[in-house]
Structure 1
Amino acid sequence: MSKLQVSATKSNEPSPESYFPCRPAFGTNGQEVILWANYFKLNVPANDLYQYAIEVKPVKKEGTKAQPRDAKGRKLHHIINMALERVGNAVPLVSEFKGQVVSLKPLSLPEDNTVTVQYTIEGKDDHYNVKFNGPTFIDMSQVLNYLRTMRDPTGDTSFPKFTSAIDAISVIIGHSARASANVASIGGSRYFPLDRDDQKFSLGPMDFNTLIRGYFQSARPATGRLLLNANVTHGVFRLAGRVSDLMKDYDLTDSGSLQNLHKCLSKLRARVTYLAEKGTSGKKGNKPAGVSRIGEKAITGLATKFDGSSGEPRPKIANSGARPHEVQFYLRAPAPAGLQADAYISVADYYEKRYGKKVDRNLPVVNVGTSTRPVYVPAELVEVIPGQPLRRKTNPAETAQMILSACRSPFANATSLTTIGRMCLKLDANPKLNEFGISVGKELLTVIGRELVQPKVMYSGKREAPVSQGSWNMRNVRVVKSGRKITKWTFIHIDPRDDDEVVKVVGSWVAFMQTMGVAIESKPLYARGINVSTRGQFINNLRQAFQGLKAQNPDFVFVVLPRQDTPIYNAVKTLGDVEFGYPTVCVVRKNLIKNGGSPQYFANVALKVNLKMGGTNHKLGDDVSIIKDGKTMVVGYDVTHPTNLSGNTENLPSLVGLVASIDKDLGQWPASAWSQAGRVEMLDKNLEDAFVERLRLWQRHNQNRLPENIIIFRDGVSEGQFEQVLKKELPYMRAACNSTYPAKASPKISLIVSVKRHQTRFYPTDNNHMTNSRNITNGTVVDRGVTQAHIWDFFLTAHQALQGTARPAHYTVLLDEVFRSTRGAEAANALERLTHEMCYMFGRATKAVSICPPAYYADILCTRQRVYMADLFDRADDNQSVSSDSRARLMGARIHPRLKDTMYYI
């Protein structure tokens, strides 16, 4: 079997885990369709390139404690740019202004490969050494020959291949956009136009943040060619502009509004105008006026009563957010001409006497120093630099507005890519690209896709639910199999209101579940439920209610929430899942009682209930051959990291979730979950233990037999981590099998990576193959055109996107011992069919989902784990500390034994 080696490491006897299978063949199932892909063709000459890694370090100053700081952000960008001007006069070169430089020829450098540049700001000179390490030689002819032939004459079978070359091309293409003052570049590949008001959208008056439509770009290898992947993206940026103008949007007479203004300005970078001293005349002659200059500072906020330090005369401030005449600071000797030394002076008087400027007395002053060493400047002299991204999580109102503004049709996005996007990314008439001989095709790429047939969805009594455009309803059908009968149950009503209506609708809901085939006793333990108030210590009130149920040991607890409320939800799930072991379902009161209870709403909640109790809601009508024999276990696992938090995330854990099927119906996916060191993607020995748990549970449900095949979906790793998955994680799963199976009876394993967070999109070219939202049809698979022939991967859009642009899931096979051995040349079709049809088996929905359920369930499981540690994550987000005891308690949360082998997380 033809294979590619993942690692470039040379070895006489490479282990099997160092390889993954070549594509057995392109898929053939389904109706062919022509699509546009969000890629442009790249024309790259076979030039030699030279790649340098650069280090920037401050030069220490002799005889002074004040040393220059390490360069970051805009400062680093400026220093690298000055270094490039020093060394690149005769050589075309580019940079991403962080850590590398790419040139067409070797650079003429000093003997130590270091140039020293002077960085001047606010009249202060600092010096930085910029060292050019390398170069790494890149032979583009070798890259292009490989893409044309898919053969490497050196015998190197590593994957991903030519990462340095592809990275260098991305740097060349992105250089001009990064160098532009009118473009904000975020991360390695996202660019946002700052000079296009038609690409900006307000997120509301609370913090005056702005959503900007930007563009992603990255060079990608494909069969026979290099491509530029480009996509529409959106970023949230903080307010920008002259602070005196920004203040017009605030009620400066309201303390709450001033407090919000203070928070919004905090930590923003700004240009500060330092005025020239006014000219003077006297006995010693005339002193000419000075020259104004611009400096860059970080804003602390407005003036507050807490400014200053205990060892110095503190500022006198009338109130937080005080105006120039209401803020006095102590002016130490020597004082400028005309000013009294060692005395207090107001900001207004200081500017008038020293600079001859009458400041606006209606606007609060701005502190561009620190809280202990404040520097107060009139608002009209401070201008916030545009393009500063928001570092905190958006609030619910901002998130809703973001979704509304970012939701665009496929054709709108495609049009943006070929017009404004090209301008923002500087893809046309670009001197730098011309210097390197690179050009970017004008048109979006066309590719061949295939529309797979929708599977049949079956319910109890072999009743088929008609599937249309990837969805169906449960009218006149019953679940395939009810879970354990719910004989003892109750409901908790939090902050009760409309109590009679809630009691009535809960009764209707239970009756509806019975008609669906969910086994549940008609009457609750308490006819009117249990009322709980959120006043006072809410968590204690709720815990008391749960504790009161302990004697009855309920099979299920329904919780009626007063509203969408994350803290209340987190408390319910922590108490139910961890402390007491009660399966719970939360519903929002207004949704529950709307129109006397909606059958669709009843059904959606009932599906969750049945899954939690061990039932199977629906199944496939035509069982996939590799599953129907009942000899194949399907596994999904994922790791989520502490991201999108504005505070200190250093001590936060990463959360791991693993789910596995227990039978051929793929209806139940019990789980194992744990935490590990933060921001560590690869798993440790806990994976082996969890895998053993899942194998033993399969064995208990299958007449003491272990699965002959195991198909694993690993969610969310990048190409650069494929090698680690095979070298670090697969051995743990092999070890679990070795300790569980008899000798020489190990199962066949296939390992597939599933990814949703990528930038590939497809657009329809034909109205006959287009949904109402103008997307490609559900079930569309693409395995050529934007892929490499030897790599077994494919893009699948299993779902129907009701709005916006559909995002396909990307699947890559890292190991295959199952499909090729059983299906031969049909292996690709078999995997695509299995993956597609499993997307119809997400138990809590009556529609196909966008990524296969094992990966989806694993992601939900990780999210549920974070619920139990909400206090840990929320405090970190707010920069609050957590005691070591609390941290250990939160991270030590374990699922109650009663729920251990259930779908409690759904």
Structure 2
Amino acid sequence: MSKLSMDPTNNSTPTEFIPLRPSHGTKGKEVVLYANYFKLAVKSLTLYKYTLKVAKIPKQAMKSDAKIPEAKGRKLNRVVALALEQVGNAIPVVSEYKSQAVSLEPLDLPKDGTVQVPYSDEGRDDTYKVTFQGPTEIRVGDLTTFLTTMQGSSSTFPLFEDVIDAVGVVLGHYPRAHNGTASLGSGRHFPLNLTGEVQALGRPGFNTIIRGYFSSVRPATGRLLLNTNVSHGVFRFSGPIVDLMRQCQLGTDDDVWKFNRTISRLRVKVQVLSEKGVPGSKPLSKGKASASKPPGVARIKESVISGLADPRDGGKEEKPKVKRFGARPNEVLFVIKAPAPSGFQAGEEYTVAQYFQIRYGRQVDLNLPLVNTGTKLKPVYTPAELVEVIPGQALRRKTTPDETREMIEFSCRSPFANATSLVQTGRKCLGLDENPILAKFGVTVDRNLLTVKGRELPPPQVIYASLKNPRQLQKPSVTEGSWNMRDVKVIKAGKSIQAFRWIYINTEFRSNPPPQDVQGAMSGMFNFWRNMGIAIGNPQNKDGESIHIPRGASAIKCIESAFAKYQVHPQFLFVVLPDTGTEIYNALKTLADTKYGYHTVAMVKNKLVKEKGQVQYFANVGLKVNLKAGGINHKVEGGVTLVREGKTMVVGYDVTHPTNMSGDSENVPSMVGMVSSIEPELAQWPSTAWTQDGRVEMLSATLEAKFEERIRLWLKHNPGRPLENIVIYRDGVSESQFMQVLDKELPYIRAACRKLCKQQPKIALIVSVKRHQTRFYPTDANNMTSSRNIKNGTVVDRGVTLARVWDFFLTAHTALQGTARPAHYTVLLDEVFRSTFKLEAANTLEKITHDMCYLFGRATKAVSICPPAYYADIVCTRQRVHMNEFFEGSDNASTISDAAKTQIKSRTVHENLKDNMYYI
């Protein structure tokens, strides 16, 4: 692994190593902000860190290649907790209940470091072995000394990762050990019992959204910090399953099927009843609930719901007779095997209702469907009234449009509201006050949010062509990072659009030609675009044409049938969609982008014909059209520093992974998108896209070939000019992967440069991240926007950063609602800025990045992350659309045949579009 040199006497220019910060930025008006961090005071103790491995001990000899099921989730948490009780009673010890434990003293362990843990679950008594590897001595004082002096022996990146992880385990122990809190991932904790933090989602409210809190230990110059943030999680239904059945009102077969999907894979507690006639036991209906379990209940076991009773359940030899899907207790028959329990005859058939009456003296509800708490092959049919869903189970599927809307409404809060939650409810949830564990480990958390210094960078001047005289330039007024296109035209029209058609897609009834309101809006929009300066003629079909897609019909077949009739292939298709649904949109883009090579512009009917805001809507769509045609919509006055000389290419690339998939996502690919500039105005960003193995972040040898394509395209558009600099924005990698980017990806980039460039261009590689947890809040009413956020252009490069690492937070945009999320930029490689701009290197990089945020071509506002990273993410999103079979209806993703998967993955952008901004 490459090392980060921390030797202050080393003055050589770094190449393949993370560069030292040249200086802090100085440009802009200085402001004081709150940050969502608390200062940590940590005693210089020696901690002892263990790595844990948990394995189930098989009850009988198994084949050497047999796979022993792993302990996961709640079971793993509980097994680790029981193991710690055995070895840490007299010694303070904390854990994240998965793979780590941290103690104040070495633990009293057996010689082999292994303890055995008996564990009863799902009706089985098992034994697990927990192996403690270590300990590794963690000297907290080494970290605090380094942060104070910025001198020390640490040479890896991230800095002092083992110490920070250990302190993080200490701080995360309380919420993970608390029964009323659900913990997700490495640092998100959700209180389950606070009414004001929970809201039902959807109609009916099967799922809930919970306001929780994130925490992570972060190093900064001179101090250790705790980064906290408000976080939101969506959780599945919890409580008695009969309550959910009543909510669903299972009146039709369709209701029953939907309910089955709702409860699938839920983890539940099942009451195992005491046998009839056992001394001291009473039927549940006559007893009172005790603190541990109700009378008449022998024990409580945990199981996972396979679904409702299904005629397809069971193997060939032991197949129950299930009358219908969602069968009731008197509609399922099964054979009693020998030896038969008391009251039963071996070989005879009994209904589930009869079984519970004879064996347990329990009359079950005959109106409720049976729940299968076994497996599809070996079903265990349980009356619904004996099943209760365990709280805190995260939703793994994509939320519905209604759920998404309600999530946004619940989570969209002012900066003040979020900051207040952090210092009140958040501290309680995370256990930051009066916590004996923190006291024992010498950790104290300051009670006030951290204040930091920021700077407000001035916005660049945006320029368009004048509407009255296109040869003159017009400077619209920029307010809070936003402007309008009144009295202006685009700077440069793209290629003339002459061969084009427009289509109206209807799902309700056949309508040909399209309705008059749609015809009028389309005619008005084409005229509006001509006034904007877009080179567009008249459509081949003046009145438009309709494609009727009946409900339930295949959208892709209906659209392809229409495309097949075109005798002259259009450059552009302007398509009016009936709604915002994904099926028709996905079909349209997949066919047009990959098979036919048509530029498509999709519009939703109600937005198109609505008079209020129609002019702005026409303008926004027109900006996309001009970019697809190769035009330049606007630029910034004076150009972007470094790039304006015409010898620099800017590149952005990103990898997105399958997420929120309820089905098997192992074989679903990750999407890679890359864009690159081809001219000094930074208006056109042609792209390339490909796939790689799912959930793999680092790119493979394909990167070299794709980067060669980018260089060739730049050289084609800049004949006779040398490519002297390449500035790369790599989106989305975590700090733990920084060195991998340099070790694994950079060599492919250099190899591409060696093949095509006589003189090797200098490279700057910057990681851009939006999915982080740092937020800033204004401290002064004079330095906030109308939404009470910090002002656009605010940059922070001190206070929550390390002086030795070159990074900064930039909030280029204005958040209209909620709390603004800054983009975080970290320089991994710099052969450009320090050598060219010397002492102004930091200021120059901040200015270039900020200025580019005003050059996002389809918007009339500054965007939150610089366009190369933003566009690369959009390319990945379009790539997902091209392979939507993997993602839409992800329950069925695992049923796609291997041949079909290969065909889907082979889809590539059509030759007509590959060097254009088809994706915008």
Secondary structure of the structure 2 residue equivalent to 1:19: coil
Tell which deviates more after alignment, 560-569 or 387-396. 560-569
Give the total of aligned pairs.
887
In the aligned structure 1, how far is the partner of 2:61 from the partner of 2:916? 68
Tell me which moved more, 722-731 or 296-305: 296-305
Alignment counterpart, residue 532 of structure 1, candidates 525, 543, 547: 547
Match of 2:842 among 800, 806, 828: 828
Quote the residue 1:168 is aligned against.
166
Residue 453 of structure 1: aligned partner: 458
Cα-to-partner distance string for 1:699-722 (whole Å, 9 max, x where unaligned): 222233132221111100111111
Match of 2:407? 402
**After the TM superposition, which residues 642-657 of structure 1 pair with which residues of structure 2 at under 5 Å, given as runs?**
642-657=658-673
> Which residue identity is paired with 2:824?
H
Matched, 1:601 2:617: yes
> 2 CA distance for matches of 1:812 and 1:795?
9
- 1:559 aligned to 2:559? no
Q: Which moved more, 1:871-880 or 1:523-532?
A: 871-880
SS in 1 for 2:745: helix
Letter in 2 for 1:525: Q
| Contact preservation (8 Å) 2:93, 2:104 | yes
Change (3 A) 1:833 1:634: same
1:33 counterpart (31, 47, 52): 31
CA distance 1:290–1:841, change in 2 (3 Å): closer
In structure 2, the CA distance between the partners of 1:686 and 1:374, relative to structure 1 (3 Å rule), is closer
Cα distance in 1 for partners of 2:896, 2:124 equals: 40
Aligned residue number for residue 285 of structure 1: none
Structure 1 residues 17-416: aligned runs within 5 Å:
17-62=15-60, 69-121=69-121, 124-152=124-152, 154=153, 156-206=154-204, 208-279=206-277, 292-312=298-318, 314-315=320-321, 317-416=322-421
Query: Which is worse superposed, 586-595 or 198-207?
Result: 198-207
2:486 is matched with which residue: 475, 485, 488? 475
Cα distance 1:5–1:69, how it changes in 2: closer, same or farther (>3 A)?
closer
Per-residue deviation, residues 271-327 of structure 1 (Å, max 9, x unmatched): 11112223379xxxxxxx986211111122222333333312523x44333333343
Q: Return the alpha-carbon distance in structure 2 between the equivalents of residues 87 and 405 of structure 1.
A: 44
1:870 to 879, 884, 890: 884
C-alpha deviation, 1:634, in angstroms: 1.1
* Residue 649 of structure 2, aligned match among 604, 622, 633: 633
Aligned equivalents of 1:120, 1:526: Cα separation in 2:
71
1:768 paired residue number: 782
- Please report the TM-score for the alignment, with normalisation by the length of structure 1: 0.94
Q: Which residue of 2 aligns with 1:679?
A: 695
Specify the SS of the correspondent of 1:614.
Answer: coil
5 Å matches for 1:689-768?
A: 689-742=705-758, 745-768=759-782
**Alignment partners' CA distance in 2, 1:280 and 1:752:** 71
Q: Are the aligned partners of 1:617 and 1:843 in contact in 2 as well (CA < 8 Å)? A: yes
Q: State the alpha-carbon separation in 1 of the partners of residues 196 and 326 from structure 2.
A: 33
In structure 1, how many angstroms separate the alpha carbons of the residues matched to 2:831 and 2:635? 26
What does 1:755-834 align with in structure 2 at a 5 Å threshold? 755-834=769-848
Q: Which amino acid aligns with 1:141?
A: G
Deviation, 1:437, is: 1.2
Following superposition, the deviation at residue 577 of structure 1 comes to 1.7
3-state SS of the aligned residue for 1:899?
A: coil
Taking the aligned partners of 1:547 and 1:578, their CA distance within structure 2 comes to 15
The alpha-carbon distance between structure 1 residues 227 and 451, as it changes in their structure 2 partners (threshold 3 A), is: same
- SS of the equivalent of 1:20 reads coil
Distance in 1 (alpha carbons) for counterparts of 2:125 and 2:268: 19
Separation in 1, partners of 2:77, 2:577: 51
Q: Aligned equivalents of 1:528 and 1:650: distance in 2? A: 48
Tell me the CA shift for residue 696 of structure 1.
2.1
Q: Which amino acid in 1 is paired with 2:582?
A: T
In the alignment, is residue 494 of structure 1 matched against residue 505 of structure 2?
A: yes
- Look up the SS of the partner of 1:261 in the other structure: helix
Amino acid at match of 1:546: F
Alignment partners' CA distance in 1, 2:883 and 2:319: 44
Contact 1:6 1:722 in 2 (8 A): no
Distance 1:556 1:121 in 2: 61
Query: 8 Å contact 1:505–1:596 — kept in the other structure?
Result: no
Change (3 A) 1:98 1:14: farther
What is the CA deviation profile of residues 223-266 of structure 1, one whole-angstrom value per residue up to 9, with x for unaligned ones?
A: 11111111111111110111223322121333322222222222
SS at match of 2:118: strand
Paired with 1:363 and 1:581, the residues of 2 have a C-alpha distance of 54
Q: Does residue 537 of structure 2 align to residue 545 of structure 1?
A: no
* Over 6 Å off, 4+ runs: 12-15, 63-68
The alpha-carbon distance between structure 1 residues 230 and 693, as it changes in their structure 2 partners (threshold 3 A), is same
- Tell me, yes or no, if the aligned pair for 1:17 and 1:726 is still in contact at 8 Å: no
Change (3 A) 1:121 1:511: closer
- Give yes or no for the alignment of 1:583 onto 2:605: no
Whether the 8 Å CA contact 2:593–2:909 is kept in 1: the answer is: yes
Q: Say if 1:358 and 1:658 are closer, same or farther in 2 by CA, change over 3 A.
A: same
Please, what TM-score do these two structures have when normalized by structure 2? 0.93
Q: Which moved more, 1:562-571 or 1:331-340?
A: 331-340
Change (3 A) 1:243 1:707: same
| CA displacement at 1:875 relative to structure 2 | 6.2
Aligned pair 1:883/2:897, yes or no?
Answer: yes
Counterpart of 1:284 in structure 2 is: none
- 2:122 & 2:850 partners in 1: Cα distance? 61
Q: Secondary structure at the match of 1:855?
A: helix
Q: Is contact 2:30-2:456 (8 Å) kept? A: yes
| SS, match of residue 129 in structure 1 | strand
The alpha-carbon deviation at position 67 of structure 1 amounts to: 10
Partner-residue secondary structure (3-state), 2:54: strand
Identity of aligned residues (%): 55
Note the alpha carbon deviations across 1:337-365, whole angstroms, 9 max, x for none. 33444322333333233223333333333
The alignment partner of 2:89 has SS state of: coil
When residues 820 and 889 of structure 1 are mapped into structure 2, their CA distance, relative to the original with a 3 A threshold, is same
CA distance in 2, matches of 1:124, 1:896: 57
Counterpart residue number, 2:285: none
From 838, 852, 857, the equivalent of 1:838 is: 852
Question: Helix, strand or coil: the match of 2:488?
Answer: coil
- In the aligned structure 2, how far is the partner of 1:254 from the partner of 1:552? 50
Contact kept? 2:79, 2:119, Cα under 8 Å? yes
CA 567–305 in structure 1, closer or farther in 2 if over 3 Å, else same = same
Offset at residue 648 of structure 1 (A): 1.7
**Residue 331 of structure 1: how far off its partner (Å):** 2.5
Alignment CA distance shift 1:200-1:680 (3 Å): same
Residue aligned with 2:660, SS? coil
Cα contact 1:240–1:384 (8 A) shared by 2: yes
> Structure 2: 5+ residue runs without aligned partners?
280-294, 466-471
Distance change >3 Å, CA 70–CA 688, structure 1 → 2? closer
> CA RMSD for the aligned pairs?
2.3
